[in-house]
């Protein structure tokens, strides 16, 4: 049985306000081409099909197109909802779609109802555990504590019970969307710590022939049989070093597993640069990043004038600018209260400007504005509130 493990498409998402619909289309075109060329039996999508519960129309159209193309080639798809998806919206018409080979598992109650796939060696039971919000899934699984570990362990136990009833020789695959201990996250994943500790142990999936995980955006191997595919595209600069890929999984007659990395195309690489603006504009070592999507961190003590257009003259795809000024010698050596002691209001205001704009105090024009503001703020003490102070 040959399976293609993917996850975290996040259709509808951009990168620092840059739309990625064309890049997402390119990634999914590649996915379909690989599935057809490598004669895959089924594509496993381990959650976060969309980036938000109500996705934009172009994202829905792209999802629809991909499903139609897989179905036209007779390739099954097994899809679970992730923490970014609306399980109810994603699961609409699941029964009808199942007849076309698109198997949606978005209801926690259906986690022990497998998709049964056949090959020359028998049956492969594919189970889907959608993202389980502990507070909402607690009642379904009858657990005392609403935690990620508890609800996911209960779901896995249900699957084991169903698998045991099917007798020997049935191979098993589980899809799950969770933060599993040992995985390495990135900045673009939504925090799921609400409802208890986020991480769950990989041992929860012991006994299954393969576990296809989603949620973390970097491809990772937690054990030979427990893996994250990662996202097809980078969705934050913390993923600049990721090599985006999918897992091509072959299950042998007795559950033997062979895994192959299938790289995704890189429409435009990500790059990070750091330093003072004049250095970044002139340093020849950055020539290789001039056509990348770029995040620049400026360390100038004072904010340079018009940094974005100046940097874009060299890096036209600069989309993120971070200010992290180098410390000014002596700044912060004394407490803020100590710096205020004995100072006039004007000096305190000037000191504040210098504090938030390191290395640069107020200009003469700004000093004049500060003087006017301080003068306007000097009001008489409030009156006693007698009858003569109240409006008629």
Spacing of C-alpha 183 from chain mean position: 14
Out of 196, 228, 263, pick the residue that ends a domain. 263
> What average pLDDT does the structure give for the chain?
90
SS3 229: coil
Q: What is the CATH number of the domain that holds 104?
A: 3.60.21.10
Residues 6 or more apart in contact with residue 320 via CB below 8 angstroms? 16, 237, 294, 295, 296
Out of 229, 263, 297, pick the residue that ends a domain. 263
- Residues in the chain predicted with pLDDT less than 50, given as ranges, are 194-196, 333, 335, 380, 382, 384-392
Single out the residue of 212, 192, 103, 114 nearest to residue 151, CA to CA.
192
Out of 199, 230, 263, pick the residue that ends a domain. 263
Residues 6 or more apart in contact with residue 128 via CB below 8 angstroms? 78, 79, 80, 103, 105, 110, 111, 115, 174, 175
- pLDDT for 391: 42
Single out the residue of 301, 253, 260 nearest to residue 277, CA to CA.
301
- pLDDT for 184: 80
What are the angstrom distances between the C-alpha of 158 and each of 108, 165, 306? 11, 11, 59
- pLDDT for 192: 60
- pLDDT for 198: 74
* Tally of structural domains, the chain: 2
Domain assignment of residue 389, yes or no: no
- pLDDT for 197: 53
Domain assignment of residue 383, yes or no: no
- pLDDT for 196: 41
């Amino acid at each position: 049985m040959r399976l293609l493990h993917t996850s975290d498409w996040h259709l509808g998402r951009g990168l620092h306000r840059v739309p990625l619909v064309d890049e997402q289309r390119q990634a999914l075109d590649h996915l379909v081409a690989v599935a057809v060329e490598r004669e895959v039996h089924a594509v496993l999508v381990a959650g976060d099909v969309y980036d938000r519960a109500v996705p934009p129309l172009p994202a829905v159209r792209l999802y629809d197109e991909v499903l139609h193309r897989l179905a036209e080639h007779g390739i099954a798809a097994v899809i679970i909802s992730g923490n970014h998806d609306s399980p109810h919206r994603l699961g609409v018409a699941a029964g009808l779609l199942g007849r076309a080979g698109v198997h949606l598992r978005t209801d926690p109650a259906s986690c022990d109802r497998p998709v049964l796939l056949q090959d020359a060696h028998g049956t492969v039971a594919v189970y889907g555990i959608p993202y389980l919000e502990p507070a909402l899934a607690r009642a379904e699984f009858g657990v005392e504590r609403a935690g990620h570990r508890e609800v996911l362990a209960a779901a896995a136990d249900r699957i084991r019970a169903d698998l045991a009833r099917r007798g020997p020789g049935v191979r098993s695959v589980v899809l799950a969307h969770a933060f599993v201990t040992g995985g390495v996250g990135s900045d673009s994943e939504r925090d799921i710590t609400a409802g208890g500790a986020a991480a769950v142990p990989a041992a929860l999936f012991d006994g299954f022939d393969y576990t296809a995980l989603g949620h973390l955006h970097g491809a990772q191997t937690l054990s030979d049989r427990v893996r994250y595919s990662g996202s097809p595209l980078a969705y934050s600069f913390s993923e600049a070093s990721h090599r985006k890929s999918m897992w091509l999984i072959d299950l042998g007659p007795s559950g033997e597993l062979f895994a192959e990395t299938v790289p995704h195309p890189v429409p435009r690489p990500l790059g990070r640069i750091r330093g003072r603006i004049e250095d970044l504009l002139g340093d020849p070592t950055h020539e290789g990043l001039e056509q990348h999507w770029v995040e620049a961190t400026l360390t100038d003590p004072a904010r340079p004038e018009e940094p974005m257009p100046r940097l874009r003259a060299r890096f036209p795809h600069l989309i993120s600018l971070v200010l992290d000024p180098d410390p000014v010698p002596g700044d912060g050596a004394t407490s803020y209260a100590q710096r205020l002691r004995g100072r006039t209001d004007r000096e305190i205001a000037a000191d504040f400007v210098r504090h938030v704009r390191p290395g640069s105090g107020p200009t003469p024009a700004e000093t004049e504005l500060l003087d006017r503001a301080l003068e306007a703020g000097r009001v008489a003490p409030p009156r006693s509130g007698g009858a003569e102070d109240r409006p008629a």
